[in-house]
Amino acid sequence: MKLLRLVPNNTNFDFLRIKVIAFLFSFIILSASFMSLIVNNLNYGIDFNGGILLELRSKKPNSSNINQLREKISTLNAGEVSIQNFGKETDFLVRIQKQEGDQKEQIAMIEKVKSLIEKDYTVRRSEFVGPVVGDELKTAGIYAVSLALISIMIYIWFRFEWQFSIAAILALIHDVLTTVGLFSILKLEFNLATIAAILTTAGYSINDTVVIFDRVRENLRRYKSKTHYFIYNKSINETLSRTVITSVTTLLALFIIFFFGGAVLSDFALAMIWGVIIGTFSSIFVAVSLLTYFNINKGEKVDDRTNVPEYEREN
């Protein structure tokens, strides 16, 4: 019985040969991200800006219409209003900007909306986030991402060497910035779920990077007579099958969530999809390529057959 292989055995691709092209690609997407952040900023959701969120379900499935719902709510002069389908065609998410005044005014607006649409819609959920809480959540999100990156850098530093730590953290920053840039370019809502997606993809990316770095460190000690260039390429090729299989299986699940998970999960899934793709790219073409600019000590020589799984040992 033949096994299905996404990547053939004993590949020998020269990944480092195109590192300049890879760096150019990274420079382009990072520049686009920075430009978009300067021009468009981020489309912060209610989590960060504050406002009112209502989840509605139509009592008349055959006559539910998003345009009619928008016209009704517009009569309240509530300011900026965003309405979108939520999962089923009969479900809607209504976002209303923060009303002038304190919490009483926000509650009053919620009650106005309820009384206006109660004949045709059931209010399944209503929330209000104040601007103070929104600012606190925004600050907490920045701290969470920063602390995660610093912790990862320290972990890599102790597990490998400082050169590996710098390469890994630069690759991670590359992943985080391009993911944030994607949301700015597409003007997608940036909320707490997006922060969770960024942290998740950072963990995914560093796990992939650590696997490759582990093989690099092992091969540096096994192949004393070989150049660093040869060792880095060999390490990527030896872990390529694992990298591709993990990425493909993860993407299959994420695409299902993106297409069938509804409006609430679609942005989260998109951030994860981009994170997996760019994380895989950065692990191979950014993190390892950056190692070529350091003079890493090969350490003490070990037997080629030492600490190598039985199925990978050379005859």
Q: How many residues does the chain have?
A: 315
User: Are 101 and 23 contained in the same domain?
Assistant: no
User: Are 164 and 278 contained in the same domain?
Assistant: yes
CATH of the domain at 87: 3.30.70.3400
User: Are 179 and 265 contained in the same domain?
Assistant: yes
Asked whether residue 6 is assigned to any structural domain, the reply reads no
User: Are 38 and 89 contained in the same domain?
Assistant: no
User: Are 78 and 140 contained in the same domain?
Assistant: no
User: Are 122 and 80 contained in the same domain?
Assistant: yes
Note the pLDDT of residue 193.
82
| Tens-digit pLDDT profile for residues 213-269 | 888 888 888 887 888 888 889 998 888 888 888 889 999 999 998 888 766 678 889
Note the pLDDT of residue 264.
66
Q: Are 30 and 177 in contact (CB under 8 A)?
A: yes
Q: Which two tokens stand for residue 245?
A: 């299989």
User: Are 270 and 308 contained in the same domain?
Assistant: yes
Asked whether residue 39 is assigned to any structural domain, the reply reads yes
User: Are 168 and 287 contained in the same domain?
Assistant: yes
User: Are 153 and 116 contained in the same domain?
Assistant: no
Asked whether residue 150 is assigned to any structural domain, the reply reads yes
Among residues 281, 312, 287, which one has the least CA distance to residue 218? Answer: 312
Beta strand 189-190 with 121-129: parallel, antiparallel or unpaired? unpaired
Note the pLDDT of residue 188.
86
Q: In 3-state terms, the chain is what percent helix, strand and coil (to 5)? A: 65, 10, 25
Asked whether residue 9 is assigned to any structural domain, the reply reads no
Asked whether residue 2 is assigned to any structural domain, the reply reads no
Last residue of a domain, one of 129, 158, 177: 129
Q: Which two tokens stand for residue 301?
A: 């020589």
DSSP state of 96: E
| Tens-digit pLDDT profile for residues 253-285 | 999 988 887 666 788 899 999 999 999 999 889
Residues of the domain holding 208: 15-43+134-312
Asked whether residue 3 is assigned to any structural domain, the reply reads no
Rounded Cα gap, residues 243 and 207, in angstroms:
10
Q: Are 235 and 208 in contact (CB under 8 A)?
A: no
User: Are 261 and 207 contained in the same domain?
Assistant: yes
Domains of the chain: total: 2
Per-residue pLDDT 10s for the chain (315 aa) are 444 566 667 777 888 888 999 999 999 999 999 999 999 888 887 777 778 888 888 877 665 677 778 778 888 777 777 777 776 777 888 888 777 777 778 788 888 888 888 788 888 888 777 666 667 777 887 888 888 888 888 888 888 788 888 888 899 889 989 999 999 999 888 888 888 888 888 888 888 888 888 888 888 888 878 888 888 899 988 888 888 888 899 999 999 988 887 666 788 899 999 999 999 999 889 888 998 888 877 665 555 444 444 434 443
User: Are 116 and 198 contained in the same domain?
Assistant: no
Last residue of a domain, one of 129, 157, 191: 129
User: Are 207 and 88 contained in the same domain?
Assistant: no
Last residue of a domain, one of 129, 163, 191: 129
Asked whether residue 22 is assigned to any structural domain, the reply reads yes
Asked whether residue 10 is assigned to any structural domain, the reply reads no
Instruction: For the chain, report the end-to-end CA distance as a whole number of angstroms.
Output: 24
CATH of the domain at 211: 1.20.1640.10
